[in-house]
Structure formats: C-alpha cells, structure tokens
A and B are shown apart, each in its own frame.
Chain A
Amino acid sequence: QQQVKQSPQSLIVQKGGISIINCAYENTAFDYFPWYQQFPGKGPALLIAIRPDVSEKKEGRFTISFNKSAKQFSLHIMDSQPGDSATYFCAASFNYQLIWGAGTKLIIKP
C-alpha cells in the first residue's frame, strides 16, 4: 500500500514531441507528489510538485496531471528537447515519509 508504481521504465521520444511518464499509488493519505529529474553523475533535483487538491500544475514545458479518483499522476514534457534526457522519479509523501517510484530513463532523439 506504500508503493508508488512508475511507468514506463524507459522512454524514447523525438525532439519536439510530448514525453509522458505515469505513476500510480494506493495510499489515499499521500499529500504531496513531487517529480525529480536526475542527470548522469548528479543527484536528483526537484522539477515540479503538486498537492492532491489540485488537478494540474504547469511550469514552463512541464505539467503534472493529477487524478485523485484514479490515484494516478503523470508528468508531461511538452516540446521535448535533447537536454531533457535524464532519469525522472515520481514520489509521494505521507507522514513525513517520501515513497519513490522506480524511475524512468528518458531519451530525447534529435
């Protein structure tokens, strides 16, 4: 019940396309859903986050869509660029515990 399931494990998108990464959870007590971006040799960095009382949050080309009834949330990267190639982690927080998805390796082909 504490798991966060992330898919796909890897994703290849053409430059200019839309990248979509999905996460699902079971615990309805989760109250914070961040996405982190990790480049090779670096630590993860917070990309964007959402609370469950909001259905969508947009920051530049990055959008989180949140479906509370389906217990799913997704990251959309519009106009994907080669510089977006990285590993993306979703996470969910409850009672000061952060539960992580397994990660998605995104490759943007020029």
Chain B
Amino acid sequence: GNSVTQMEGPVTLSEEAFLTINCTYTATGYPSLFWYVQYPGEGLQLLLKATKADDKGSNKGFEATYRKETTSFHLEKGSVQVSDSAVYFCALADTGGFKTIFGAGTRLFVKA
C-alpha cells in the first residue's frame, strides 16, 4: 500500500542554518505530495504541495521537488528562523481512498 517515510527527529539547528528534511514515498502512480507544518498547540497547515513529477512546491522560503526517479520529496530551506520551530509532516494523497497518508513527522528546533 501507499506509505510515507521521513527522517526521524528531532532536528536541532542554529538560526540561519540550512535545513533538509528527507522524505520518501511508496505509491501506485504519481499522487500529489505535500508538506504540512504543525506549530505547538495548533492543527496542520499546508506548507507546500506538488501535483506531478518534477514539480517544485515553494512557500515562505521552503522548497520541495517531486522526484519520481528517487520517489522523494525532500523539504529544504536556505536559512531557518526561530519561528520555523515546529513539526513537519510529509504526506501523499491517496486519491482512491479519499484521504491523506502522513509520515511520522519531524520535529525541528531552531536556536537563536
């Protein structure tokens, strides 16, 4: 079945450091891929998405490219801020099941 695997956390970085959170997926076909972010005490916010191979999603300085050759959708940001501290979830659309399948989440701590 469809699944998402993302790197375990927590990830701790200093402000202005480069961020990469790895995500790989297993799926039938080429589903849409997403990154969601969850700040403490809140629900999930859609950070970015890509709907087909080679698409690059981007938002708020974050980027991820849909790589079908490596079945990956790694999240990157060139310079993180303390306010980026949150849990990040990689996810894919299970269109036949009308649901989103999530990875386990990666907690990011950014130190000033």
Are the chains A and B members of one assembly?
no
